[in-house]
Amino acid sequence: MTQYIETAINLYQYIVAKHWNGQALIGPDPGIRFNYRIGRFIKSYLRHVHWKDSYYYLQAQGYWVLSNWALFVRTNKTAYRDVALCCSDYMLSQQRDDGAWDYPNPEWKGRVATNEGTWGALGLLEAYRHSTDQTFLKSALDWHKYLIGVTGFQAVGDELAINYFAGSGNSRVPNNSITVLRFVAELASLTQDKSFMKPSVGLLNFIRRVQKPTGEFPYAVKSTSQEQTKSHFQCYQYNAFECLNLIRYYEITGDEIVLAIITKLLDFLSQGLAEAGYAFYDCHNRYRTVTYHTAALGAAFSKATQLGLTGYDDLTTQARACVLRLQRPDGGFIHSQRDYHLLTDQRSYPRYLTMILYHLLHLEGVV
């Protein structure tokens, strides 16, 4: 057992003890708006108070299922398979008749978020890949039908961008479109039905156009109805996620067009690590550190090397050494440090802990 697998398994055991109820991962989340800016720090410093803020995030379940299948393949221990199947079964029970899932945070009550549902569906596709249980495939297909028919795309010329929320014409967010690009490729590959790839040309046109000369993707660009843009927001972690999803898309399709996008993106990410190994929060904030950001960058560099791209070994080593240093004796991780230069968030968030777990497995080459 390598040091990195051992680190991942220690984290896995922590997540099971802290957040796994036998069917799903449940726990707090940094959230949005006031809670993200202020509330989570109050809760962190008063974390022995019983805060009523445990949520069921589908994104956490998706990462959890993917990680469990990866560990099952690596170890052949049936306990990982059983957890993946239980979690997938519970996702089925929570899916609405129209194929969507409700957003858990009360501040966004009534909305259906693209990334939330798509990551859940990616977990279900992985469950189908290993079990061949058609109910998991049907659930992912129902989500796909909802994405196409209800969530909808914004079309600008020959570009397509998926909406952030169902039926909403807000700013176009490249991260969401890249996740959906991976999703349709996974669907086409598993079903051998190339019709699922129909949106991919428009999505790729959008993705290629908005990528900056530096290789960075902006967080948001103007929509068909709004002029609002947001160039920088947690730049390096979002771009790391985008890089990983584009690499997965390339692994599935062999589409050479995307390789140039990935190479430029890696040039940008290469500027995202401090000498100490942690990921910068964004282009204008280099003091705040968030653990899962560093894990995501390390995973992107590791996957680049596995893809045959050179020059990323030292960056991978820096990032994973930093993550290993941050693991607590109980297997968990501090969420963030140096927020507003002086605050620390030590709460345990299952959504982000599963991201760290999944990306640790990338570092080991298991995923």
Per-residue 3-state assignment (H helix, E strand, C coil) for 177-203: HHHHHHHHHHHHHHHCCHHHHCCHHHH
Residue range 57-104, pLDDT digits in tens? 999 999 999 999 999 999 999 999 999 999 999 999 999 999 999 999
Burial of 158 (0-12, 13-18, 19+ CB in 10 A): exposed
Q: Give the torsion sign (CA, 188, 189, 191, 194).
A: positive
Kindly indicate the confidence band of residue 28, based on its pLDDT and cuts at 50, 70 and 90. Answer: very high
Contact indicator for 40, 31 with CB cutoff of 8 Å = yes
pTM listed for this prediction: 0.96
The secondary structure of 302-366 as a DSSP string is HHHHHTT--S-HHHHHHHHHHHHHHB-TTS-B--EEEETTTEEE----HHHHHHHHHHHHHHHT-
Q: Angle between the 200-210 and 174-191 helix axes, to the nearest 10 degrees?
A: 150
258's enclosing H/E stretch is: helix 256-269
- C-alpha span between 171 and 228 (Å, rounded): 6
In the chain, where the domains are located: 1-55+306-367, 58-150, 152-269
- Positions of E strands within the chain: 153-156, 159-162, 289-290, 336-339, 343-345
Residue range 151-180, pLDDT digits in tens? 999 999 999 999 999 988 888 999 999 999
Kindly indicate the confidence band of residue 17, based on its pLDDT and cuts at 50, 70 and 90. Answer: very high
Q: How many CB atoms lie within 10 A of CB 343?
A: 15
Residue range 105-126, pLDDT digits in tens? 888 889 999 999 999 999 999 9
- C-alpha span between 320 and 193 (Å, rounded): 38
Residue 312 exposure: Cα atoms within 13 Å on the Cβ side? 27
- For the segment 127-139, the average pLDDT, to the nearest whole number, is 98
Residue range 196-228, pLDDT digits in tens? 999 999 999 999 999 999 999 999 998 876 666
Q: For residue 242, which of 198, 204, 274, 284 has the smallest C-alpha distance?
A: 204
pLDDT of residue 158: 96
Kindly indicate the confidence band of residue 145, based on its pLDDT and cuts at 50, 70 and 90. Answer: very high
Q: Given a cut of 80, is residue 363 above it in pLDDT? A: no
- For the segment 40-50, the average pLDDT, to the nearest whole number, is 91
CA distances in angstroms from 42 to 29, 30, 189, 345, listed in the order given: 13, 11, 46, 9
Kindly indicate the confidence band of residue 48, based on its pLDDT and cuts at 50, 70 and 90. Answer: confident
Residue range 291-312, pLDDT digits in tens? 999 999 999 999 999 999 999 9
CA distances in angstroms from 344 to 11, 45, 90, listed in the order given: 20, 8, 33
Kindly indicate the confidence band of residue 1, based on its pLDDT and cuts at 50, 70 and 90. Answer: low
Residue range 249-278, pLDDT digits in tens? 999 999 999 999 999 999 999 999 999 999
